[in-house]
Structure 1
């Protein structure tokens, strides 16, 4: 039986368990199993989190990151997880910056990303999107819902709140997303690999409220970084919002997304927000090798 230290981080209200695998050298085949343990509330002094982040050394980058959902699934980008990983690296002296503008390269989901500090917030640069579908027609209750779909390292289907069923019956913050979203997330005819499902409300050209149900967590999360990027991108393409937009997630901890473009062609995105340590815990694991 081995004792495993977990540090808890919040990326704009998106909660993560983080392991420093430079110390433990855990067999990669064990991470999915460990995620299902370390993202749960197993005793009064642990908390439920929305993903496991594994930090590893790298020969060419500042560090490498592996991300696992609480159900053990993996292979996707996690924007707030990436920002939390950067904060963890800074807090634990995995890297030391000479100045705030230094670029921090790291690998996640097979792609090299770059981050930097800006007024002590963590800013991550994303490459351009892989796929866009506007509109995305989705069967629901015998009707067709009009959504928007994008792959920004993770799959996201988003709906304007005015267009979701029974929205007129609820204030936005109280809409039962947990009941609406799974019916679409598990529609394998439309989404063979599943999808995250979000609802949004545009306040003005610079502000979007966003709530996200994440696959792998199978619940609404406090925030979703890739969901924020998708919402900013898809609404910008519809001329609903500006290139730089504030995203207000469920946690109400503000994120900022900026679209990078040249000659009217989108080249990538910046995702910026806070990322802080909120606690730590120890887990007993039978076999780490």
Structure 2
């Protein structure tokens, strides 16, 4: 079987994109998905995303982790899928699409920056040494010293697999405050089981967690990730976060076919 694919990346978070509007892709073949995401024997990517038809919106997003498992929402993947949909002429400069966590609105500006509306965040667990919240995917957020030299893979895996999060696990974000409106973060992603260069739902979680815990009063926050820069804005009323937007680049890398 020949599969036509497209490769996209958003701040170094990279994805295999497949136009599945005709329904030809074998969606239950998790080994195939893992093979396509393999960086040595396949195409390579932090995840694989199918663009499908949807009766209620412009298109549907189906997201797989690089291990082949279907996953919760991926923010950078969603932004890249919007850019892909525009390339396919499925949409123009704005869209509404369906993902696993519901409908999302997004827009693309003339410079290729994609702004994606994320889900509202109404429940935040604040502990003395970490914060936990769901921004479409579950995220553990904690401040650390010496972020640049921190062993993200080892420390992240230890928390991800700990009794704190059980079998489901969580994504783990380590954070450093830069100034009143800027934070740096590094993320261990479940499903990838390693550090990634960026995580959109993670950047969103960090921005909201830093505001919720009083580390910033800003409602528009810049995030330095290993692969570049993202921005998150939101409205806050009481302890509820609404009108949440994740903004950053989403770039086409290459396209091709692979025989499997």
TM-score between the two structures when normalised by the length of structure 1: 0.84
Q: Say whether the 8 Å CA contact 2:117–2:246 is kept in structure 1.
A: yes
Q: Deviation digits for residues 37-56 of structure 1, max 9, x if unmatched?
A: 1111244xx54310000011
Q: Say whether the 8 Å CA contact 2:23–2:52 is kept in structure 1.
A: no
Match of 1:176 among 129, 146, 151: 151
Match of 1:149 in 2: 132
Residue 209 of structure 1 deviates from its aligned partner by 0.3
Identify the range of structure 1 (212-221 vs 126-135) with the bigger mean alpha-carbon deviation. Answer: 126-135
Match of 1:127 among 119, 122, 127: 119
Residue 116 of structure 1 deviates from its aligned partner by 1.0
Q: Deviation digits for residues 218-255 of structure 1, max 9, x if unmatched?
A: 1100100000010000100122121100001011x110
Match of 1:3 in 2: 2
Q: Deviation digits for residues 120-156 of structure 1, max 9, x if unmatched?
A: 31001112125311016xxxxxxxxx11111111111
Residue 117 of structure 1 deviates from its aligned partner by 2.1
Residue 281 of structure 1 deviates from its aligned partner by 3.5
Q: Say whether the 8 Å CA contact 2:123–2:240 is kept in structure 1.
A: no
Pairwise CA RMSD of aligned residues? 1.8
Matches within 5 A, 1:9-28: 9-23=8-22, 25-28=24-27
Match of 2:165 in 1: 191
Match of 2:221 in 1: 245
The answer as to 2:111 corresponding to 1:159 is: no
3-state DSSP class of the match of 1:153?
A: coil
Match of 1:226 in 2: 201
Q: Say whether the 8 Å CA contact 2:16–2:43 is kept in structure 1.
A: no
Larger radius of gyration: 1
Match of 2:232 in 1: 257
How far apart are the structure 1 equivalents of 2:86 and 2:258?
24
Matches within 5 A, 1:267-286: 267-285=242-260
Identify the range of structure 1 (189-198 vs 83-92) with the bigger mean alpha-carbon deviation. Answer: 189-198
Residue 36 of structure 1 deviates from its aligned partner by 0.4
Match of 1:80 in 2: 76
Q: Say whether the 8 Å CA contact 1:65–1:108 is kept in structure 2.
A: yes
How far apart are the structure 2 equivalents of 1:105 and 1:111?
10
Residue 110 of structure 1 deviates from its aligned partner by 4.3
How far apart are the structure 1 equivalents of 2:50 and 2:4?
12
How far apart are the structure 2 equivalents of 1:4 and 1:115?
28
**Runs of 5+ unmatched residues, structure 2:** none
Match of 1:34 among 11, 32, 40: 32
Q: Deviation digits for residues 25-73 of structure 1, max 9, x if unmatched?
A: 224323x333201111244xx5431000001112221110100001122
The answer as to 2:105 corresponding to 1:114 is: yes
TM-score between the two structures when normalised by the length of structure 2: 0.92
How far apart are the structure 1 equivalents of 2:153 and 2:239?
37
Q: Say whether the 8 Å CA contact 2:160–2:170 is kept in structure 1.
A: yes
- Pairs aligned (count): 257
